């Protein structure tokens, strides 16, 4: 995962130096990289991946509406903010701070299964999804349940996410009695 982030950071720096349009990082970061490049300074980008649970009341209303529409009857359990924070550093001094909004390749994230939804009612099976809202568009991403009970999903975009699930009745045996 560090490799994917490093590749993205290198690409951002090169694109800024070549004066290409860079849209996958905050404008403050782009401006700081360019300013330091023009001055002839070496620039380092220091990153940190942050996965933070957020309360529903703190989620943007438009984002909530989009997620609820995409959930389409599935139960929303938890909202998450996934971010890649980036600092533009020159000579050990932070010149700008921002966020990378999209990577060059997807990363797999693993989150704990909230205890309150770990138990599935007898006769049912549970399927988990993560709904990602990014730039006004939602995507329903598949989730893998790992042997340790954690959940994993893959993404290359950073925004607001919602962990959801759908319970389905197991295909039981048909009643074949002749009464």
Closest Cα to residue 111, out of 155, 63, 75?
A: 155
Assess whether pLDDT exceeds 90 at residue 130.
yes
Note the pLDDT tens digit of each residue in 78-124.
999 999 999 999 999 999 999 999 998 999 999 998 888 888 889 98
pLDDT value at 133 more than 70: yes
Phi, psi of 122 (to 5 degrees): -55, 140
Q: Given CA atoms 21, 25, 26, 28 in this order, what sign does their dihedral have?
A: negative
Q: Rounded distance, CA 145 to CA 78, Å? A: 16
Residue matched to tokens 């925004």 = 159
Map residue 30 onto helix, strand or coil: helix
What's CA 132's distance to the chain center, in Å? 7
| Three-state DSSP class for residue 167 | strand
Please write the tens of the pLDDT for every residue from 42-63.
999 999 999 999 999 999 999 9
Determine the pLDDT at residue 116. 85
Token digits of residue 131? 């709904």
Q: What sign has the CA pseudo-torsion 94, 158, 54, 59? A: positive
Q: Closest Cα partner for 9 from 83, 102, 90, 95? A: 102
| 113 DSSP assignment | P
What residue has token string 């060059």? 104
User: Any idea what the Cα angle at residue 14 is, between residues 40 and 25, rounded to 5°?
Assistant: 105
- To the nearest whole number, what is the mean pLDDT of the chain? 90
């Amino acid at each position: 995962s560090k490799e994917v982030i490093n590749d993205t950071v290198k690409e951002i720096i090169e694109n800024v130096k070549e004066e290409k349009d860079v849209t996958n990082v905050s404008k403050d970061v782009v401006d700081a990289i360019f300013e330091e490049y023009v001055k002839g300074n070496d620039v380092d980008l220091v990153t940190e991946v942050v996965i933070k649970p957020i309360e529903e009341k703190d989620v943007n209303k438009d984002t909530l509406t989009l997620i609820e529409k995409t959930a389409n009857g599935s139960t929303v359990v938890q909202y998450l903010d996934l971010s890649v924070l980036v600092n533009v550093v020159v000579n050990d001094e932070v010149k700008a701070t921002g966020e990378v909004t999209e990577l060059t390749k997807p990363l797999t994230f693993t989150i704990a299964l909230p205890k309150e939804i770990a138990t599935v009612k007898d006769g049912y099976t549970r399927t988990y999804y993560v709904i990602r809202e990014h730039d006004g568009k939602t995507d329903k991403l598949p989730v893998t349940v790992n042997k340790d009970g954690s959940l994993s999903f893959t993404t290359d975009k950073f925004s607001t996410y919602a962990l959801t699930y759908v319970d389905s009745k197991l295909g039981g045996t048909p009643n074949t009695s002749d009464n």
